Amino acid sequence: MLARSPHGALRRLFDDVGTVDAVGIEERVAKYGTRSIKKASKLWGLKLAASMVDLTTLEGKDTPGKVASLCQKAMCPHDPELGVPQVAAVCVYPAMVKHARKALGSATAVRIASVATAFPSGQAPLKTRLAEVKAAVADGADEIDMVINRGAFLSGEFGVMQDEIRAVVEACGQATLKVILEVSELETFDNIRAASFLAMRVIREGDFIKTSTGKTSLNATLGNNQVMIEAIRDYYLDTGVSIAMKPAGGIRTAKQALTFLIAIKETLGDAWLNNARYRFGASALLNDLIRQIEKENTGAYQAPYYFSEATESY
């Protein structure tokens, strides 16, 4: 009986990929907040973080106009003299990809990411999800953010989950794939590690695993980021294949972003400190990064309303 229950399947998977010391992880990530990053290294970190942002708008009320202004901001986040780099990508719904492509043009380094596969739930027939991926790629998406089938994972049907990811990899063609584990629905660190391995085994070098959709209550935390980057490290040491990482949702301040970069530096090393290997899925983060860069440049604390039209002017 045990052999066919999800418990048995999960246990065999844990035996295969290893489990996580949850208390140890929390203890480890708590230490990242104690690092003192100042002056030149802080400025470097802030600019690096800005270059890693997937500038995101995923709302029902998105319009072509809003996407166009997002693209403008992605290409030129602030006064060019300040030296804020372009962000890595814009992240939009599939229906908005063609508007983003029109706004960005084809000569830009800013990539277009699109959340396909019935984001955020993934609860649509596979055929529909694959059609969505192909449509987004055809419209000009450079990167596809897919959600895994959490239902399949939690019921122990790992083969189903992996086959679906394989199918999406195929549908992506040249486009980079980001596999969203939706960590809040996986519930334990052990599950997050196991799901990371299942995904990494079927995606290509340079593809991403991503924490969450940003549409549930719990998003990227240092803890689940740590579990996933340790999985990436272990997988790299086993196979030599480097997988990229994207935490998403809940990272709003520059200070948080720097702490995540410290986690990367101390776990995966300098090879992952670039936007081909690490991204932040965020919408408000870029404003705070620019604000802190301006503070480092001028020495004066800045008001948020200078950096975002969405900020209250109080």
Active-site residue set: 145, 210, 246
169: Cα separation from own chain's centroid: 17
For residue 125, what are its two tokens? 């027939």
Nearer to other proteins, 72 or 298 (CB): 298
Rg (CA), the chain: 19
Strands of the sheet with 244-246, listed across from one edge: 244-246, 208-210, 176-180, 143-147, 111-115, 89-92, 53-56, 280-282
Nearer to other proteins, 242 or 302 (CB): 302
Q: Please report how close the Cβ of residue 240 comes to other proteins at its closest, in angstroms.
A: 44
Round to whole Å and give the CA distance between 193 and 223: 12
Nearer to other proteins, 240 or 299 (CB): 299
Q: Is 11 exposed, middle or buried (0-12, 13-18, 19+ CB in 10 A)?
A: middle
Q: Please report how close the Cβ of residue 43 comes to other proteins at its closest, in angstroms.
A: 17
- Whether the CB-CB separation of 220 and 254 falls below 8 Å is answered with no
* Binding characters for other proteins, 166-195, by CB under 8 A (x = yes): ------------------------------
* Binding characters for other proteins, 283-312, by CB under 8 A (x = yes): ----------------xxxxxx-x-----x
- Whether the CB-CB separation of 265 and 299 falls below 8 Å is answered with no
Nearer to other proteins, 235 or 307 (CB): 307
Round to whole Å and give the CA distance between 311 and 284: 10
Number of residues that bind other proteins (CB under 8 A): 10
Q: Please report how close the Cβ of residue 295 comes to other proteins at its closest, in angstroms.
A: 9
The full DSSP string for 56-103 is: E---TT--HHHHHHHHHHHH--S-GGG-PPPPSEEEE-GGGHHHHHHH
Decide if residue 19 touches other proteins (CB under 8 A). no
Residue type, 8: G
Q: Please report how close the Cβ of residue 209 comes to other proteins at its closest, in angstroms.
A: 33
Decide if residue 4 touches other proteins (CB under 8 A). no
Decide if residue 314 touches other proteins (CB under 8 A). yes
Strands 176-180 and 143-147: parallel
**End-to-end distance of the chain based on CA atoms, in angstroms?**
62
Q: Which of 34, 106, 217, 313 binds other proteins (CB under 8 A)?
A: 313
Decide if residue 81 touches other proteins (CB under 8 A). no
Nearer to other proteins, 52 or 84 (CB): 84
Q: Please report how close the Cβ of residue 92 comes to other proteins at its closest, in angstroms.
A: 30
- Return the residues of window 236-265 that contact other proteins according to CB under 8 A: none
Nearer to other proteins, 107 or 300 (CB): 300
Which residues of the shown chain bind other proteins in the complex (CB under 8 A)? 299-304, 306, 312-314
